[in-house]
Amino acid sequence: MKHSNRFRVAPGEKVRLKDIDPGFKGHHQSHKDALKEIEEDQEKLRGLQELLHADKSCSVLICLQGTDAGGKDGTINHILGAMNPQGCRVTAFRQPSKEELEHEFLWRIHKAAPRKGQVTVFNRSHYEDVLVVRVHNLVPESVWAPRYDQINAFEKELVEGGTHILKFYLHISKEEQLLRFKDRLDDPDKHWKISEADYKERKYWDDYTAAYEEALSRCSTDLAPWFIIPSDHKWFRNLAIGRIVVEHLESLNLKFPVSSVNLEHIRQEYHSAKDR
């Protein structure tokens, strides 16, 4: 079974995260067992992204969502680490600025959408406006509730303009999150990542779960699917997401453009230069 089918949320499917094992790792027993496949997919990603950049007929938007310590940064390092940085960009969406709050919630998102030939990764995304906003009652339900339909319409508009959208929810357990927080405490090089808010947010775990379940259920469409990626094992997360991105890029039938110069003339110039 393709990874893109195994982890994809079908349109209209009612998501129950408690029924999905965040520790799932397929037929692999360890990172060592999966390493060859991971490296092969990275090599494929490198070539496919070069094709996308040269073809320039479309773009790719990858949205990453998940709880704190879910692995968004690690995923970005893995996926973009295989690509040419000239054709890639990462945008992190944090608390909106004063200027952003003066516009409708999708304004800052639309500005960051990828241009043709580019891969853009959103570290968090427009879904924050039906997640943290909902959990912390930052706006009334009458404001955030219509946003699911607005998001679907926005994503449809992007797709119709040539942007392919892949959305990944990095699914980790509450126990794994605490272990990762401890790793940050034990590693001086990770102290900069520590925030008191991370621990305070844990008491809202069930509220966030409910908010994610509704977003995943209502906003996974044929045009812009959600994938729920078991992420307790970082290596499996990388394998699964890498494979899905490869499978999607391969389906686009990208091609290198035909050269616009007279190649025979260039060859003659080359041989003349060699003879001088």
pLDDT tens digits, residue range 68-114? 999 999 999 999 989 988 899 999 998 999 999 999 999 999 999 99
Q: Tell me: pLDDT of 185 over 60.
A: yes
Nearest to 66 by CA among 9, 12, 22: 22
Q: How far is CA 170 from the centre of its chain?
A: 9
pLDDT tens per residue across span 221-248: 999 999 999 999 999 999 999 999 999 9
Domains of the chain, by residue range, sit at 3-275
With tokens 């509220």, the residue in question is 207
What are the tokens at 146?
Answer: 């219509």
Q: Using CA atoms, how far apart are residues 136 and 157, in angstroms rounded to an integer?
A: 29
Q: Give the mean pLDDT of 14-27.
A: 96
Find the Cα–Cα–Cα–Cα dihedral 52, 58, 59, 65, rounded to 10°: -120
Give residue 265's pLDDT band: very low, low, confident or very high (50, 70, 90).
low
% residues pLDDT > 90 (the chain): 80
CA angle 204, 206, 210 (to 5 degrees): 115
The pTM assigned to this predicted structure is 0.93
CATH match for 3-275 among 3.40.50.300, 3.90.1010.10, 3.20.80.10, 3.90.650.10: 3.40.50.300
The pLDDT value given to residue 276: 60
Q: Using CA atoms, how far apart are residues 23 and 226, in angstroms rounded to an integer?
A: 19
